[in-house]
Amino acid sequence: MQNPIYIAMTIFNGRTSAMLSGFATALALFIGLSAPAMAAEMIMFEQPGCVWCMRFNEEIAPAWPKTEQGRRAPLRRVDIHQPLPADLAGIAIERFTPTFVLVDQGQEIARLRGYPGDQFFWALVDDMLAKLEP
């Protein structure tokens, strides 16, 4: 049986390494071109024990990813008691939950404070999404 280090060195000699590097570059380019750019997100600021967050979770959350609204702005949850993710540093956080913030390319587009119930929520979200660039 050959030494595993010798095998690894043989596999990753200059020529094979260059070939692997080229393959990795091509794969990254292919993934970048084929993956849709996700520009918009619906950020849901929430906290444990929030009754209105629980209502949203029961009435809206299961359907969200299946809707046109959910496809345009996937839901991303952020606990207000945890550190704010770096990519949301420019978004003002509130203590009122839930708060829904439509973000596009790191910029706040619209904000909905509170959950008004399933009958009003969809219309308010449609108004928010109408502010996005087509």
Q: 55 with 95, same domain?
A: yes
Residue 12 has φ and ψ, to the nearest 5°, of: -100, 35
Domain residues for 78?
40-129
pLDDT in tens, 35-79: 345 579 999 999 999 999 999 999 999 999 999 999 999 999 999
pLDDT in tens, 87-133: 999 999 889 999 999 999 989 999 999 999 999 999 999 999 999 98
pLDDT band at 3 (very low <50, low <70, confident <90, very high): low
> pTM for the complete prediction?
0.71
Q: 107 with 81, same domain?
A: yes
Q: 61 with 112, same domain?
A: yes
pLDDT band at 18 (very low <50, low <70, confident <90, very high): very low
β pairing state of 40-46 and 75-79: parallel
Q: 22 with 77, same domain?
A: no
The pLDDT of residue 11 is above 70: no
Q: 91 with 119, same domain?
A: yes
Within a domain: 10? yes
Within a domain: 54? yes
Total number of domains constituting the chain:
2
- What pLDDT does 13 receive? 54
* Mean pLDDT of all residues in 25-41: 52
Within a domain: 134? no
The pLDDT of residue 4 is above 70: no
Q: 49 with 108, same domain?
A: yes
Hey, what are 21's tokens?
A: 């590097």
Within a domain: 45? yes
